[in-house]
Amino acid sequence: MDIIIKDIKKTFGEKVAVDIPELTIHSGELLGLVGNNGAGKSTLFRLILDLIKADTGTVHMVGKVGENSVDINVAETEEWKDWTGAFVDEGFLIDYLTPDEYFQFIARLTNTSDEELQEFLAQYQHFMADELAGQKKLIRTLSAGNKQKVGIMAAMLLKPQVLILDEPFNFLDPSSQNAIKHLLKKYNEETGATILVSSHNLQHTVDICPRIVLLEHGKVIHDIDNKEKQAQTILENYFEIND
């Protein structure tokens, strides 16, 4: 599924949060979005997910759903939610449920059978590290890292064609960070899903993303082909200069 952004602009008072004349994320890309705090990463994700309204411009999802071709403005219909999974922050969670209850809730919303849910959870058992499935703790009592895991798992439960994760490496220990990198690369390769990941961790982003977009004050200042890991030097130089 292509994501086509045109003339998108969002301001908060006098602050320009996002100002992108044109950006296309191509179907099947695993794209990393990087930038300092306030660069506009989270705002851009919220615009793509229609969580906030743009002042001007559009976000379209264009591609194939089954045998049908679609070209959808995300602000005009909710149809795209059928093939989009996302985790942006804890607000996506229902914190008075246990992880199992939350996964069951998401499964019902997405018409996922109990058998399919159990197969899904078993597939990601290593990532959950026996800390989530089968536990009686409410989500609100979990550590920040385990809340992050619950959100990521729920986003992937739909088996989405578009997957958007804001700072997925936050709060996770090194083993879980490496597990996320492996899961995202494997999911991208096996399904051809379009995946957008934002991160402050340059190394993780360079490791998994063949394309990296660098934002500054809401604008795209570098769109880097990272297939040969050439983004490392560009990003290190940028963040050293702008530190």
In a domain, 102, yes or no: no
3-state secondary structure of 235: helix
- Mean pLDDT throughout 61-74? 91
Q: What is the pLDDT of residue 107?
A: 92
Structural domain total, the chain: 1
**pLDDT per position as a tens digit, 93-109:** 999 999 999 999 999 98
Task: Give percent of the chain above pLDDT 90.
Answer: 68
Extract the tokens encoding 43: 């705002």
Check pLDDT > 80 for residue 14: yes
Whether the Cβ atoms of residue 46 and residue 87 lie closer than 8 Å to each other: no
Amino acid of residue 2: D
In a domain, 123, yes or no: no
Q: What is the dihedral of CA 113, 49, 197, 97, to 10 degrees?
A: -50
Domain span including residue 234: 2-92+161-241
Of 154, 234, 213, whose CA–CA distance to 23 is shortest?
213
In a domain, 134, yes or no: no
CATH of the domain at 182: 3.40.50.300
Lowest pLDDT segment from 85-89, 109-113, 192-196, 219-223? 109-113
In a domain, 122, yes or no: no
Check pLDDT > 90 for residue 66: no
In a domain, 35, yes or no: yes
3-state secondary structure of 85: strand
**pTM beyond 0.95, yes or no:** no
Rg (CA), the chain: 18
Check pLDDT > 90 for residue 168: yes
Q: What is the pLDDT of residue 65?
A: 85
Question: DSSP per residue over 7-27, as a string?
Answer: EEEEEETTEEEEEEEEEEEPT
In a domain, 27, yes or no: yes
For strands 211-216 and 30-34, give the pairing.
parallel
How many C-beta atoms lie closer than 10 Å to residue 92's C-beta? 16
Strand order through the sheet with 15-25: 15-25, 2-12, 56-65, 68-73
Amino acid of residue 112: T
**pLDDT per position as a tens digit, 175-192:** 889 999 999 999 999 999
Q: What is the pLDDT of residue 201?
A: 84
**pLDDT bracket for residue 241 (50, 70, 90):** low
**pLDDT per position as a tens digit, 218-239:** 999 999 999 888 898 889 888 8
N- to C-terminal Cα separation, the chain: 35
Residue 130: Cβ-neighbour burial (10 angstroms; 0-12, 13-18, 19+): exposed
Q: What is the pLDDT of residue 239?
A: 85
Which residues are CB-neighbours of 212 under 8 A, at least 6 positions away? 31, 32, 33, 34, 205, 206, 222, 223, 224, 226, 231, 235
Extract the tokens encoding 83: 């093939």
Q: What is the pLDDT of residue 9?
A: 97
In a domain, 62, yes or no: yes
In a domain, 114, yes or no: no
